[in-house]
Structure 1
Amino acid sequence: MVYLLYDLILLLAAIVLTPYYLWRGLKYGKSRRGIRERLGRFAPESLRRITGRKVIWVHAVSVGETRAVVPLLRELKKGYPEHALVLTNVTETGRSVAAGLDCVDLCLFFPFDLSWVVRRVLRRLDPEIIILVETELWPNLVRQAHARNVPVALVNGRISDRSFPRYRRVRPLLAPLLKKIVLFGMQTELDAERVRRLGAPPERIRVTGNLKFDMAVPEIGDGELARFRSLLGLAPEAPVLVAGSTHQGEEELLLQAFEVCRAAHPALRLVLVPRHPERAAEVGELVRSRGFVPVLRSQCPQNAAGEGVPVVIGDTLGEMLRFYALADIVFVGGSLVPIGGHNILEASLLKKAVLFGPHMNNFKEIAQLVLFAAGGRQVDDLDELVAALTDLFGDREQRERMGRAGHALIERHAGATARTRSCLDDLLGSGR
């Protein structure tokens, strides 16, 4: 009865959301393929890539989770080369990042969690195992997989301060679902304790660490970086502030801080990378309202931008680390407004001094570790942002010291991929 009600609620949501997806497709030029895949209808040519092979199905909701799981995907591909790796995402941006991964055999949109849709997808993919990243607990997927004797594992699991009280309120419904999951690879001891209190069997819980500490350092040579600067119209010696994964309400504050800092550093340049690229036009209008003429990354042909561009708007996917590589200072968005923050370790990976706001609920532990290691600073408002930027742009040695400290933190906490892989090997080795 509970699952019937759940299906009815989701069906109503799907009816409401389908026109929205179609509207977005028309507005932003997206393909309608996403709707079909969310209903479990896959193109035959796509499925031919995995026909006759055992399937490992990995699900990561969006960009951050997809990037975090890449080292694990590569390890699985190395350890199980005959298997087909299928990666699903909920968001279009996550799906775009997934499409660029050479270790993945098939990328799909995650299906609506309706019982009949999930059954269809399980029949078509016939996975040997399903791996959910972080807290992607979909009741019908877990239930239907259990009915088909397909093990479901949770990796890089976390339960935030905000989510835990909500989960506790529905513990009588959640606990039976958790008993159908065969592995809980949790980020911290606190996450492990929380999932145990929600009803997960203790013998299935492991503390494996955070996969985000195992991100691979991108190979960006000096020559490539110089060409990228030239492409964006950034002079070779110009100091650069890169603001990544920004949300509505943050760009205005960053532009105000940028104006103040330019008074002391006239050569300063700003790169704004909104979390959702479709907001680029909106952000561009905001930049113009402040008296600057922005350049869109997507409209930067080789060497055509000159070297006088004050503001660049990053409206492409998959280039965040390239943008960060340009930076003298990185600000990570979703944190000056109550979004919950984004992954600040990407900046530390490239040895960059990193700033972030007070709203880091989704990355609370990482933020605390970075602050304790002196690899970054938290700013609570515009005044503190201006003060931090003024201080750091005036002290190169301090910036570089912060970058090295953040990178050393990552090295100290690496190893989650190997621990998670070991747990999954036990499941894959034992079969169904």
Structure 2
Amino acid sequence: MREERESKRSRKDQDYRNDDPFMNSQPQQNQRKSRSQGQGAQGSQQYGNGQAYGNYGGPQPRRTAQGNQNYGQPYGGNMQGQRADYSQGRNKKKSKRKKKRIWLFVLEILVLLIAAAFLFLWVKYNKIQKAEFNPTDVVVNQDIDQGVVQQMKGYTTYAFFGVDSRTGDLKSGTNSDTIMLCSINNDTKEIKLASVYRDSYLDNTNGRFQKVTEVYGAGGAQQSLNVLNKNLDLNITQFITVDFNAIVEAVDIFGGIDLELTEGEVKWLNGYLVEGRDVLGKECDDVPGPGMQHLNGMQALAYCRIRYIGLDYERTERQRKVLEQLMSKAKSADLLTLNSALDKLLPMVYTNLDVSDMMDMLKDITSFNMGETTGFPLQKTTQNNEAGDVVVPINLAENVKELHAFLYGQEAYTPSATVQSISSQIVSNTGVDTGVESQ
């Protein structure tokens, strides 16, 4: 019995081995060899010889350096293209995100710089004495030709007033010893200066004629702007007033100026220094003699005040020479020097310019170029009348026509009816007409 059971078990084992297609397909030695080769880069291809794996084609080859093109169709032979597209798209997204971060960083820097610039100007602006009147309240002749008004918009025009205030009050109460019109061509950045003679006999807009210098003492900057606009057909609403002490500080900050002096100018300059030392409490040497001299702030101010050589006509010319040199110095100065100048000069400034106006001036300072200068009235004479020793325009209307040609290039300018009427009244008051020779 026992032997019979063992015989049956042996026959079953033999049948199992005979029925196994893999065991039956190759010898045992080949099986080991096949498995060993299957672990290599090419060995797995031989598994496809066995029928037991049917249509699957046996285990697939590993990925090679050439990509996935060796994968069989069951695994999708085009997988390499899909993977490459995915990789490229992902790299593009990373590149876009990187560029976006760079632009955001640049934008943040620009915003910070702009904010810093506004903060800088705001701090400086708070040092200034600010005008309290509204620029829209300034008188402007309404009968000026509108074509002329449009042309004038291509220029920025300021009025500069220089006052000799011993108390530091720049708003009123003192005469404007210096009155300048500054015209800036917005395209070319050319600056032209026209000094209005302080003793000019003009309509003060309050019903009488007087020296224009006296208007500032009574009505301040606003009334002075009214007089300039009404008598000269201008539309100035912005002004800057400085104390003469500002000239001293500015010249010293920029290292002095060089001027050719006559013997007479040296005499009067040193004479004015006597008063200047007493008023300002500063020591200053006399100018040694005529010829080219390097002047400090005190000496430059004394030079600007000389009025007994060439009367007010040459006096204003001397003032323009000093201003021209200061503007040239400021244009080439470094940032530290400009900052020092602002800190010292702004407390001596009274103006209705706002922060944006100041920013426009500062950003264009290196582009400005000085053009011609002149004095107004261009055709004039002197007279002593009820207003005192005055400078009388010979035909105010013609003088205004010449002024517009100078400031704005309006060669064929026709003065308004308002100016024509003032011109006739001056002739009536003084008897000075076109037959009088200009001085």
Q: Which category of TM-score, normalised to the shorter sequence, fits these structures?
A: under 0.3
Give the TM-score, by structure 1 length: 0.23
Q: Which has the higher contact order (CA 8 A, sep 6+)?
A: 2
Structure number with bigger Rg: 2
